[in-house]
Amino acid sequence: MPRTTVAVDDSIAKRISTLAKRFNLVISSFSSEALSVAGDLLEMGMMPRDLKKLMVAMKIASFVDPVILPMDLFESLVTKACMCGEPCIEKLDEEVALWGKRVGSIIKGYYEGDIESLIETVSKASKVFALKEVSVDKIAPNTMEIKLVGAGRSEITTRITYTFIKNLFEELGYNVSLNSMGVGVIKFTVEGKRTNRQNI
């Protein structure tokens, strides 16, 4: 294996050395693996620093015990839950709204960084979600236009996805306005309210 010298800050070198000893790793193989992961991230369009934000998103998700379901199963469950018509759809919508607020509250309590950069990182990693595309366009200093493609395969799942997202952003202190919604596609604008606590 060819040898290459890589210059890093002293604090990083000390940290890597300490971690390598703790986990009984050879620094060269650890470094090689870390650089390989960094290369994989770059190929996905992400910077290595995005991995930290992705880890934060995963930690936030762990607070609500998410279950991964195939999209077809999710669609089937929602369709069956709504068989009694509009009253059932309204109840489901209310439940989803509460969950959106709950997740927004968890984000506020756990993550004090820039919410916009967290959203942009999640959008870069959207390949791992059921969503086909998450695009974020910053249209003003505290305003983003977000487009979700693959946000459901029916009118009802698209609607409840928007309900969840709208309530999440409102809990985070954003005003949310729907630009357009069709089966599986949602386009909306979020505008941050100026408060002392927010970093937007």
In a domain, 197, yes or no: no
Rounded CA gap, 18 and 110, in Å?
27
Taking Cα atoms as reference points, which of 151, 150, 167 lies closest to residue 159? 151
Q: Give pLDDT, residue 30.
A: 81
Letter for the amino acid at 57?
A
Do 135 and 185 fall into the same domain? yes
Q: Give pLDDT, residue 52.
A: 77
DSSP state of 23: T
Do 77 and 152 fall into the same domain? yes
Rounded CA gap, 190 and 166, in Å?
9
pTM of the shown model: 0.74
Taking Cα atoms as reference points, which of 52, 54, 66, 37 lies closest to residue 124? 54
Do 87 and 32 fall into the same domain? no
Do 34 and 85 fall into the same domain? no
Domain count, the chain: 2
In a domain, 4, yes or no: no
Range of the domain at 39: 12-43
Query: Would you write out the chain's pLDDT as a tens digit for each of its 200 residues?
Result: 677 787 888 998 888 888 888 888 888 888 888 888 888 878 877 777 777 777 777 787 788 777 777 888 988 988 888 888 889 999 999 999 999 999 889 888 877 767 777 777 777 666 556 677 888 898 988 899 999 998 888 999 999 999 999 999 999 889 999 999 999 999 999 998 755 444 43
Q: Give pLDDT, residue 199.
A: 43
Rounded CA gap, 69 and 152, in Å?
13
Q: Give pLDDT, residue 3.
A: 75
Do 181 and 112 fall into the same domain? yes
Do 19 and 85 fall into the same domain? no
Do 35 and 57 fall into the same domain? no
Do 32 and 127 fall into the same domain? no
Do 114 and 132 fall into the same domain? yes
* CA-based torsion, 20, 26, 29, 32: positive or negative: positive
